[in-house]
Amino acid sequence: MMRRMRDKGWMETDGILKSGITSGHALEVGPGPGYLGLEWLRKTEGTHLTAVEISANMIKTAERNAAEYGFTHRTRYVLGDAQNLLFEDAVFDAVFTNGSLREWAEPEKIFNEIYRVLKPGGKYWISDLKRNMS
Domains of the chain from N-terminus onward: 2-133 (3.40.50.150)
What span, in angstroms and rounded, lies between the C-alpha atoms of 3 and 59? Answer: 15
Q: Is the confidence at residue 1, as pLDDT, over 50?
A: yes
What is this structure's pTM?
Answer: 0.88
Q: Is the confidence at residue 6, as pLDDT, over 80?
A: no
User: Which residue type, as a one-letter code, is found at position 86?
Assistant: L
For residues 123 and 94, is the Cβ–Cβ distance under 8 A?
yes
3-state secondary structure of 2: helix
Q: What is the pLDDT of residues 42-85, one digit of tens each?
A: 999 999 999 999 999 999 999 999 999 999 999 999 999 999 99
φ and ψ at residue 97, rounded to 5 degrees: -155, 150
CB burial of 18-35 (b: ≥16 within 10 Å; e: otherwise) equals ebebbeebbbbbbbbbbb
**Using CB atoms within 10 A of its CB, is residue 63 exposed (0-12), middle (13-18) or buried (19+)?**
middle
